[in-house]
Amino acid sequence: MAEQFDPAAMVQRFRERAEAVQRRGMPPIEGPERQQFMRQAQLDFQDYAMLGDAQASLDDGILTLRIDLRPKQA
């Protein structure tokens, strides 16, 4: 399985998922369900975007994702 796995392709799929979360519409829901949907969409975007920014490597069957969470320098 490790020989068929492409870490760069996985990272690209997460980039695409982050973009899809931003494009998806709001279903016709109201009240607490609407707020929950919006919170979940924000978390989905955050998670997918972070993984989409990762530098991925597969070494000896170990997948390593490097994500720089340090604040950007001005």
* The pLDDT of residue 3: 61
**Residue 5, pLDDT above cutoff 90:** no
In a domain, 12, yes or no: yes
User: Coil, strand or helix: which one is 57?
Assistant: strand
Domain containing residue 17: 7-66
* The pLDDT of residue 2: 47
Total count of domains within the chain: 1
**Residue 74, pLDDT above cutoff 80:** no
Can you give the pTM of this predicted structure? 0.77
H/E run at residue 66:
strand 62-66
What's the mean pLDDT when you consider all of the chain?
A: 90
| Each residue's pLDDT tens digit, 48-68 | 999 999 999 998 989 999 999
In a domain, 31, yes or no: yes
In a domain, 32, yes or no: yes
In a domain, 36, yes or no: yes
Q: What single string gives the DSSP state of each residue in 8-50?
A: HHHHHHHHHHHHHHHHPPPPS--HHHHHHHHHHHHHHHHHHHH
| Each residue's pLDDT tens digit, 26-38 | 888 899 999 999 9
In a domain, 73, yes or no: no
> Distance from CA of residue 23 to its chain's centroid?
14
